[in-house]
Amino acid sequence: MGPGLYSDIGKKTRDLLNRDFLTDQKFTITTYTANGVAITATGTKKNDFILGEVQSQLKNKNVTVDVKVNSESNVLTTFTADDIGTPGLKTILSFVVPDQRSGKVELQYLHDYAGISTSLGLTANPVINFSGAVGTNMFAVGADVSLDTATGIFTKYNAGLSITNADLIASFNLNNKGDLLSASYYHVVSPLTNTSVGAELTHSFSTHENTVTFGTQHSLDPLTMFKARFNNNGKASALLQHQWRPKSFLTLCAEVDTKAIEKSSKVGLSLLLKP
């Protein structure tokens, strides 16, 4: 195992503190056709709006084709080719109809000591993005840079590093063009019960604001997961996720602002069905 991609730096903590914390109502169902096409329909109720999405996915050897249609009549098509010609190399081509400037080609390469991702917009003056991480599975350092060739301005430049041992992951990131510093850690308390704790501290140099978020997860039984998080702004969230059949999950989430108890809490429900 190598350092992975730049996006993997701090991913464990981000997943612990953010993944599945949904305060909307969401329903997802996946079915498979006779020729192996996976069709996934998703409906989300957000405030007074209902958003829909239908995705179809076809895999043939090392090539995957995804077509996604949403309620705004946008069609996102993605072609992904794995290990074509070179082991560890992935090629991704994506575009959105009717947006003529949305075409993008991306190359990802994973090596024992490096992970590289570069993308290029398919326009006359494209945005070029490059991200890379070097190191090992125990220590990685990387950067993420985007250049708008139309203006010659760097629209993004981030940097980060990650330190990993058997049960602890620590990471540091400098984002938003050097304005936002974040430090995070993820600690596995008990692998048997999938119990972990994590925290993230972010500091904005321009606003001098600090945000601290703590989170934990614990498996109540092999099929039921509990997660909770709390930040210094008084926002507390908790979720209960139960796998009631293989690959099918029911998730109940609640969020409350402890500094404004008079406000009603937010409750989200997510149902994922797979055959």
Residue 267 scores a pLDDT above 90 = yes
User: Could you give the C-alpha distances from 51 to 22, 43, 71, 90, in angstroms and in order?
Assistant: 15, 6, 6, 31
User: Could you give the CA distance from residue 242 to residue 252 in angstroms, rounded to a whole number?
Assistant: 9
User: Could you give the CA distance from residue 52 to residue 42 in angstroms, rounded to a whole number?
Assistant: 6
Q: Yes or no: say if 93 and 108 are a contact pair by the CB < 8 Å rule.
A: no
Residue 63 scores a pLDDT above 80 = yes
* The two structure tokens encoding residue 53: 């999405």
How confident is the model over 154-191, as pLDDT tens digits?
999 999 999 999 899 999 999 999 999 999 999 999 99
Residue 34 scores a pLDDT above 80 = yes
Q: What pLDDT shows up at residue 118?
A: 97
How confident is the model over 114-126, as pLDDT tens digits?
999 999 999 989 9
How confident is the model over 75-91, as pLDDT tens digits?
999 999 998 778 899 99
* The two structure tokens encoding residue 217: 């997860």
User: Could you give the CA distance from residue 123 to residue 99 in angstroms, rounded to a whole number?
Assistant: 11
Which helix H or strand E contains 59, and what residues bound it? strand 49-60
Closest C-alpha among 27, 35, 88 to residue 53? 27
* The two structure tokens encoding residue 141: 């350092």
Closest C-alpha among 38, 68, 36, 16 to residue 199? 16
Angle 260-212-138 (CA atoms, 0-180°, nearest 5)?
150
Q: What pLDDT shows up at residue 72?
A: 87
Tell me the average pLDDT of the chain.
Answer: 94
Strands 25-32 and 266-273: parallel
Q: What pLDDT shows up at residue 264?
A: 80
**Burial class of residue 109 (count of CB atoms within 10 Å of its CB; 0-12, 13-18, 19+):** middle
How confident is the model over 197-242, as pLDDT tens digits?
999 999 999 999 999 999 999 999 999 999 999 999 999 999 999 9
